[in-house]
Structure 1
Amino acid sequence: MSSQAQYQPPAPPEPTETAAPKPAPDSRVTPMMAQYVEIKAANPDSLLFYRMGDFYELFFNDAEIASRALGIVLTKRGKHQGEDIPMCGVPVERADDYLQRLIGLGHRVAVCEQTEDPAEAKKRGAKSVVRRDVVRLVTPGTITEDRLLDPGRANYFLAIARRRVSDTQWGYGLAAVDISTGHFALSEADSTSLAAEIARFEPREILVPDVIHDDPELAAFWRETRASITPLSREGLDPASAERRLKDYFGVATLDAFGSFSRAEITAAGSALFYIEKTQIGSRPVLNPPARENAGAALAIDAATRANLELTRTLSGERAGSLLATIDSTVTPGGARLLAERLAGPLTDAQMIHDRQDAVEALVENGDLHDRVRRILKRSPDLARALSRLGLGRGGPRDLACVRDGLFAARDLGLELAKTHDLPRELSAAAQRLQSLRTDVADKLAAALAEELPLLKRDGGFIRTGFEPNLDELRELQQDSRRFIAALQARYANDTGCRTLRVKHNHMIGYFVEVPQNVGEDLLKEPWKDTFVHRQTMAGAMRFSTMELGELESKIASASDRALRIELGLFETMAQELLDLSSNVAAAAEAIAVVDVTAALADLAVRLDWKRPVTDTGLAFSIKGGRHPVVEAALKREGTAFIANDSDLSGKEAGHILLITGPNMGGKSTYLRQNALIVVLAQMGSFVPAKEAHIGIVDRLFSRVGAADDLARGRSTFMVEMVETAAILNQATSRSLVILDEIGRGTATFDGLSIAWAAIEHLHEANRCRALFATHFHELTALADRLPRIANATLKVTEWNNEVVFLHEVVPGAADRSYGLQVARLAGLPHAVVERAKAILSELEKSDRESPKRALVDDLPLFAVPVRAEPVRQAKPDLLREALATIDPDQMTPREALDALYRLKAQG
């Protein structure tokens, strides 16, 4: 049965008089509604889940929003100040499902629980309302439940602060926190790199102080980002207060042991901790000490480039089909998250890259060790998130078991790695962390926990029989009581002669005797009326209680309550023992993730024949037999081979530019992207899909591939193209790699050609970077004769029986045509359209041969840095324009206008 069918709105309590001297009948407020209004007023920006029994209720506007968002029934019960009360509800047991949908839609939810036993409330008066309070604010960046999280994706919220660097420059501090794993990272960015740094973390929620949120230069970015934006009324904390908050949270006298942080970073970190306190309301997640990530330590990739290259998501927003999905062969949730993190932030430090590659190579060469490690990893659960839930008080018995199994896997993994001598630095460091882990708590958990575990600790039954004698005694009492109930039912059935008599139980009336209605009528008479006390009449049945059942129920309830208290006490003791080791457990979780990522990349290298690239600090860029990992995987599933291609952009003092022409559908975009992806893979520490690769470390990666508009911001496809191109030309350095595809194609031919021409010259002379530039402007290929670091390449194509065959092979040279008509025919354009296009093309080509365009290459000066003013050339007179200027159409007869038109035609 659906939750909608099960849900019955509760009747509001009887209205009571307000404090007004003469309250009107429609102004009365019930005590329950008064409580609700007070709690809602304290949480105006959140949907309030108001606990009433087995449901979370929503009222008024919250109910209307939730009803639409969740597709649940909106109903009305009672009145508040004369108005009907809109309301809807969701079952507590299924609240996670509804929370997931609300959070996914960008809503925040305040969870309001009963903080008092109803029996205690009754002592204050029959109409007293059970005390309630908000115990947690659920926001996109602070969820911890497994059912609400993607196990392979970090769930960051990002706090931002800033400081003035100069009169015109701001410096930004960023604090990225994932409370589901305890990860806490600090970094800095300037105005030009802020968007790229935010994109690297891919946060679910961003905390933005009002002064930054309202900055005209950034306001558009906050409106358009996919992350949920949470404005702060002030800049969180000043640096001094933020520093005190950090010290108090981690129990240290100084932050020096954590690293050296800027004032903006400390302020951002303090704001993050303030937000945790606000949303978790008394609970303290287990956080790692803040770790600073130095500016420039990661390859800078802006949001547009990440989208174009489809690193973690495709352009449609799906994970399937992305580079991450293609290379992810990890077997642990922590490993999957670390792989995504490394892919999002490839390194720029040569030694750190080499350390990662050494580790991968060690497992590539030692297949037996690789296989043994993977077998252990496959039984390692999500240690980090289970520990976090326990720290927040949201953990259950299965989280204890998760940590237990994770600790055992960590111990076995450490022992396995210890058998191998001369491990590379990264694997050796992981092995040391694993070997220093205490596992005596895991042994205790193994002895304490039952084989079958409930999801919630309040359900009990998770402590193994034989672990706690007092608990075993109470359980035996419960078992004896059940046997006594069975015996009592048999005796009552025999005495009354009713073979269908049953002793049952529900939460409303406790234990009761149920008999058919005709038998029940007899039990109301002598000699039974003193033994059986009537409780309820049902359709076809009657229910009675007896003194024996009441006494038995009291014993059972007492035993059950005492047994549950013992189990909950044991749970809290074991959870605290784990939290006391939280730093060691977190270190073990990180080590497991490192080993998993290394083993996964080694698996890729062996299975897909990837090779270790050479990475250094030079400007080399030489790839032999490079392949696009995602396209190759797709072709392999279809049984088709991928055509590998070489690329060389190497230079000593400046990078080279490869100008690529060729037919539509020939594979230019694939070739561009594969070279960029090889750089990302190499610098994240992976082997790469190529026979050989030598890459001088890239500091910034830019990609402008494909066409897209941004109508919400009033930007056409061409405007988006120009904005992205401008960012590249303004930011690329000599160490950058730039990928440009079809610049200038979104506007008029000569406009586009001139923009593309100037962009290439700027890349060559000003940026001096390594670049791949694909174009259909064949005129640009002449630049290779004038600019020394430009070379031409084309995609081979051949024709067979009037059919075009794309060979997908990159060779030196330039294309002289684009085969657009052939591609149009393949796409299914009507035959008449294709034939007409052929005729038009023939006429245009004939006209061009008869009236060739001026040789622009010979006339245009080269790009100069800085740009010098060129002498103005005298323009030739425009006879047509001069003739048009003498004509006044308003003063002409139709005959005069026709004669003027013929004269203009003759001049043309």
Structure 2
Amino acid sequence: MARPGRHRDEEAARPEAAKAAPSAGATQPSPLAVGEATPSMAQFLEIKTANPDSILWYRMGDFYELFFDDAVVASQALGIVLTKRGKHQGQDIPMCGVPVHRADEYLQRLIRQGYRVAVCEQLEDPAEARKRGAKAVVRRDVVRLVTPGTLTEETLLDARTRNYLTALFRAPGGAPSGPDAPLVGSDATVALASLDISTGECEVGEALGRDLPGEFVRLGASEVIVADALLADGELKAWIGRAGAAATPVPAASFDSLAGERELKARLGVADLGAFGAFSRAELAAIGALLRYVDLTQIGKKPVVRAPRRLGREETLVIDAASRASLELVRATSGEKSGSLLDAIDRTVTGAGARELAARLATPLTDVRAIEGRLDAVAFLVGEAPLRDAIRETLKGAPDLARAVSRLAFGRGGPRDLQSIALGLAAAGEAARHLRGRQGGIGLPDEIARLLARIEGQGAELLRMLTAALVDDPPHLKRDGGFVRKDYRAALDEAVALRDDSRRVMAELEGRYVELTGIRTLKVRHNNILGYFIEVTQTNARPLTEPPLAETFRHRQSMANAMRFTTAELAEIEGRIASAADRALAIEQEIFAELAAAVAGEERTLSDVAAALAELDHTAALADLAHHERYVRPVIDASDAFEIRGGRHPVVEQALQRARAGPFVANDCVLGRGGVERPPGFDEMPDARIWLVTGPNMAGKSTFLRQNALIAILAQMGSFVPAAEARIGVVDRLFSRVGAADDLARGRSTFMVEMVETAAILNQATARSLVILDEIGRGTATFDGLSIAWAAVEYLHEESKVRVLFATHYHELTALAGRLASVASVTMDVKEWHDEIVFLHRVKAGAADRSYGIQVAKLAGLPEPVIARAREVLTLLEKADRRRGQGNGPLEELPLFAAARPAGSPAPRGPAPVETALDAINPDELSPKAALETLYRLKRIRAGEDGP
């Protein structure tokens, strides 16, 4: 069942040619099976045997074919028809296929479902194969293994998200529980090396086992490679999966520090790695496994590798996985970017800038000087609005330079990638002119000055070459041709002219021959039998048959009224016209190879320019955000300060603006002033290391808690913050325990998850940390929960000495504000009006007098009988003595819900009968006797003996 366009040699596996072979569906056929199969199927089985863990895409003409189990799996995953082709050991061979021109679409769907794909291409023209014999098959082999972490195609990647491949290596020794103990949650040191092969971005660092879940989320890797023995740890594999990555086992021998050091030096073109930092042996081992895996999957083609960023544990703000999820940094709880902090602050105009912004948001710094350097750059562009706007306008036209370079390095690039490099270099030059044009570049902050040095004048010669060579709108594929500009190469212009304008060429030749011979009736003609020939009438033919013209014009055919001739020049031109299209395409391929080689020679320069443009876009975007959203520059120091004045939640504030629901209510937060004295009466907010935040649900407690955590993250990533004033002593670890969730797959209830996360906070928080806790202890019995919350606050105060925002409904906890020196109570301000509650969303000093839970329940729409009954129970509980364990508590005296009103009576709707009767009475019209009778009547109505 050959499809149209398939070459003749591909029919070797058709049913009538098939021979008996081992069982269909075998993914690792035996040598006997291979030997007994048809030539094409034997080739497939041999290649499949070498790639047993991947779905094999076997190129046959215009299709990628899949056979046996691969076909069954792919047909289900892709929703395509499963058919059959020939037999194997007496059974039908399952088969399906995808057209080559739609390969990326299907490849993306398979990768997203977690499959690996081995792409097997034809390595020669079928015509060459036929020269070896009628039964010879085209040479084929796997040219790459496609895995989630090794994608480079533009159609398979999100332009605004990096695609990390990460290698994880457990450092030998240093783990008290032994090398075979579970890694996650331990104090073992692990090395992580990450590479985005689509851009060359590289990052290396170490972490503790207990921080691994947070690191997986921070890196956002698509694939994590781990030694096969280590991946047997189910907890580790589960956390990799939760972070959205594929876990891939590799041999432990891949983690070779010496090989890693040698390969990294080769990729960076240096003899010593000292200029890039001091790498540990564990980090080099992880790098070695990473680069070896890339080499294996790309079949020897080398990726572009930028100078690795080395991020140690002490240099970045550590945020665990649960905190990242609850704070919705890069993804909202729905899993979408919309509604996240990243979505709220992203003003970048390029994909590379968006990736840089996301990376910095995921990895805030703890080094004060580095943070201040970033803030200086943002502040400069905030104050230079015309320059900022000019840079952003220039960068809008800049394509993804880094990914274009990478595709060309892997041999997967096309003319559009060459043009992207030209446009990227042009944008870099224009941005440099904008920066230099500002007082000659004098007075630029250090960060901006360094960016200027990295883009100014870089790749100028390459830009000239690409601009001269490429047309303005080149095609996507080099095989289509037509991407080289006219006048770039004379041989190509001649071939194109012959291909596109043979009539004009022959007319010019005819004119020259008329002038040479003097025969005005001479014509250059063409037919399908003779091809091109020169024709003259019999009367005028004699001069061409005699010297000297006979030496040029050779007689070819005589007709009744005409004679036909040819010349060596005409035969040569005819041959050139016949092959002009092939020659034109071949010349263009040569030019493409030359340009790609020129790009390869400038890989490091181009990668650095791409990185600099991404940083410039990111910085200008943060400045634009600060300008339009009224963000201020935070003061960052090494003190224990945490003082936010007029702080706002960046995501909620923008949501209110879009909904036109009024302004966001700003609030202060003072968990320490870092020794800075404020004038007397500066404010009414307490200065305490721990704030106990009380108030009803829906009043904004969670928003207040989260906004202060987000402000700290924004400040330490180098951004201005949504506040009127902010001073933050650098935070080393940030914990956010907000909201309730279970983990039933691991046998953990909501309360168990709450306790596990709380335990992590109490065990890991330091005096420089920031802790956000919401409703600790609410998942269990009241006294149990209150006891746990009470003890946790005491521990955070006495042992951890950490900065804490602790929201609670346990009003009893507010007693700690009078007993612990660094604990203060604040509450969410509310007003009551006619039994309704009005949320003011303002934080004030003091504690809530009650929880207002019944009012919130009423707002939520609970039935009126339930609200009334709840008030009845609450009143009794508040007045009672709460004598427990004696059998006569207040609840025992309370009738059941059904007994609280006469049996069979409907739930009250509107005013009670007594109230109706009272409304009908006018006391001024009643005599003493009538008043007494009315009172008796009201009693009968209440008892149900009379109507209103």
- For the 8 Å contact 1:319–1:325, the answer to whether it is kept is yes
**Within the alignment, does 1:324 sit opposite 2:332 as a pair?**
no
Distance 2:376 2:260 in 1: 40
Higher-Rg structure is 2
8 Å Cα contact 2:643-2:673 kept in structure 1: no
1:782 to 804, 807, 815: 815
Is structure 2 residue 835 aligned with structure 1 residue 802? yes
Matched, 1:656 2:689: yes
1:651 Cα shift? 5.9
- Equivalent residues in 2 for 1:166-245, closer than 5 Å: 166=174, 168=176, 170-215=188-233, 218-222=236-240, 224-245=242-263
Partner in structure 2 of residue 453 of structure 1: 474
Correspondence 1:228-627 to 2 at 5 A: 228-420=246-438, 421-480=442-501, 558-627=579-648
In the TM superposition, 1:683-762 aligns within 5 A as 683-762=716-795
Q: What's the offset of the Cα at 1:733? A: 0.4
Rounded Cα–Cα distance in structure 2 between residues aligned with 1:5 and 1:688: 61
Deviation at 1:557, TM superposition (A): 5.9
1: CA distance, partners of 2:58 / 2:469: 36
| Residues 532-564 of structure 1 deviation map (CA, whole Å, 9 limit, x = unaligned) | xxxxxxxxxxxxxxxxxxx99986662222111
Work out whether residues 695 and 851 of structure 2, in 8 Å CA contact, stay in contact via their aligned partners in 1. yes
Report if aligned partners of 1:60, 1:87 keep a CA contact under 8 Å in 2: yes
Matches of 1:317 and 1:605 in 2, distance apart?
27
Question: Compared with structure 1, are the counterparts of its residues 699 and 80 closer, same or farther at alpha carbon in structure 2 (3 Å cutoff)?
Answer: same
The amino acid that maps onto 1:67 is S
Residues 174 and 265, structure 1, Cα contact 8 Å, conserved in 2: yes
**Which moves more between the two structures, 685-694 or 791-800?**
791-800
Q: Deviations over 1:645-671 (max 9, x none)?
A: 000001659970110010110100000
Matches of 1:64 and 1:750, distance apart in 2: 58
The residue number in structure 2 matching 1:628 is 649
Residues 811-869 of structure 1 deviation map (CA, whole Å, 9 limit, x = unaligned)? 111112222222222223333333333333333333xx33368xxxxxxxxxxxxxxxx
Q: Which amino acid aligns with 2:428?
A: A
Q: CA deviation at 1:111?
A: 0.7
> Counterpart of 1:287 in 2: which secondary structure?
coil
- In the alignment, the residues of structure 1 paired with residue 573 and residue 38 of structure 2 have an alpha-carbon distance, to the nearest angstrom, of 39
Residue of structure 1 aligned with 2:17, choices 15, 18, 21: 15
Using the size of structure 2 for normalisation, the TM-score is 0.79
Q: After superposition, what is the alpha-carbon deviation per residue over 1:485-535, rounded to whole angstroms, capped at 9, x for unaligned?
A: 9xxxxxxxxxxxxxxxxx99xxxxxxxxxxxxxxxxxxxxxxxxxxxxxxx
CA distance in 2: counterparts of 1:82 and 1:655, whole angstroms: 81
Residues 692, 67 of structure 1: alpha-carbon distance in 2 compared, 3 angstrom cutoff: same
Equivalent of residue 56 in structure 2, options 48, 69, 78: 48
Q: Report the CA distance between 1:672 and its aligned residue.
A: 0.4
1:850 maps to 881
Residues 5/360 of structure 1: CA separation in 2 closer, same or farther (3 Å cut): farther
Q: In structure 2, what is the Cα distance between the partners aligned to 1:150 and 1:482?
A: 48
The 5 Å alignment of 1:635-674 reads: 635-639=656-660, 640-650=662-672, 656-674=689-707
- Identify which of 161, 164, 171 aligns with 1:163: 171
Deviation sequence 1:621-662 (CA, Å, 0-9, x none):
000100000000000011121111000001659970110010
Counterpart-to-counterpart distance in 2, 1:213 and 1:554: 64
Mark the CA change 1:113 to 1:793 in structure 2 (over 3 Å): closer, same or farther. Answer: same
Distance 2:302 2:115 in 1: 23
SS at match of 1:612: coil
**Between 64-73 and 236-245, the greater mean CA deviation after superposition:** 236-245
Judge which range, 637-646 or 220-229, deviates more: 220-229
Shift of 1:356: 0.8
Pick which of 833-842 and 370-379 moved more: 833-842
**Equivalent residues of 2:20, 2:37 under 8 A apart:** yes
Per the alignment, residue 825 of structure 1 pairs with 858
Distance 1:852 1:425, change over 3 A: farther
The residue that corresponds to 1:63 in the other structure is: 71
Write the distance in 1 (CA, Å) between the matches of 2:317 and 2:33.
Answer: 68
Measure the CA separation in 2 of the matches of 1:17 and 1:71: 30
- Matching residue's letter, 1:636: Q
Would you say the 8 A contact 1:15–1:28 is kept in 2? no
For 2:300, what is the secondary structure of its paired residue? coil
In structure 2, the partner of 1:490 is: none
Structure 1 residues 27 and 464, CA gap change in structure 2 (3 angstroms): closer
Percent identity (aligned): 57
CA displacement at 1:401 relative to structure 2: 0.5
Deviations 1:277-312 (A, max 9, x none): 011112111111333223211111111111100000
2:871 matches 1:838:
yes
Q: What displacement does 1:419 show?
A: 2.3
Query: How many angstroms apart in 2 are the aligned matches of 1:437 and 1:184?
Result: 22
Q: Which moved more, 1:412-421 or 1:666-675?
A: 412-421
Give the match's secondary structure for 1:462: coil
**Cα distance in structure 1, aligned partners of 2:742 and 2:326:** 13
Q: Which moves more between the two structures, 342-351 or 577-586?
A: 577-586
AA partner of residue 881 (structure 2)? E
Task: Give the 3-state SS of the residue equivalent to 1:68 in structure 2.
Answer: helix
Distance in 1 between residues matched to 2:375 and 2:646, nearest whole Å: 20
CA drift of 1:473 comes to 1.0
Q: 1:670 & 1:662 partners in 2: Cα distance?
A: 13
Quote the Cα distance in structure 1 between the aligned partners of 2:5 and 2:605.
Answer: 46
Tell me the secondary structure at the aligned position of residue 643 of structure 1. Answer: coil
Aligned counterparts of 1:427 and 1:879: Cα–Cα separation in 2: 75
- State the one-letter code of the partner of 2:283: E
- 1:16 touches 1:31 (CA, 8 Å); kept in 2? no
CA contact (8 A) 2:19 2:87 kept: no
**Alignment partner of 1:102 is 2:110:** yes
Change (3 A) 1:216 1:390: closer
Q: Which residue of 1 aligns with 2:899?
A: none
Cα distance, 1:746–1:84 mapped onto 2, change above 3 Å: same
How far, CA to CA, are the matches of 2:698 and 2:271 in structure 1? 63
- Give the aligned residue type for 1:288: R
Please name the residue that 1:497 is paired with. none
Q: Any conservation in 2 of the 1:360–1:599 contact (CA below 8 Å)?
A: yes
Residues 60 and 552 of structure 1, relative CA distance in 2, 3 Å threshold: farther
Counterpart among 714, 720, 723 of residue 681 in structure 1:
714
Q: Which AA in structure 2 matches 1:262? A: S
**Normalization by structure 1: what TM-score?**
0.83
For 2:382, the aligned partner's letter is V
Return the offset for 1:123. 1.3
CA distance 1:405–1:220, change in 2 (3 Å): closer
Shift in Å, 1:607: 0.4
Amino acid at match of 1:261: F
Q: How many Å separate the matches in 2 of 1:678 and 1:415?
A: 34
Which runs of 5 or more structure 1 residues have no equivalent in the other structure? 486-502, 505-550, 854-876, 881-908
The offset of 1:144, in angstroms, is 0.8
Partner of residue 528, structure 1:
none
Which segments of 5 or more consecutive residues in structure 2 lack a partner in the other structure? 23-30, 177-186, 507-526, 529-571, 676-686, 889-948
Judge conservation of contact 1:200–1:344 (CA < 8 Å) in 2. Answer: yes
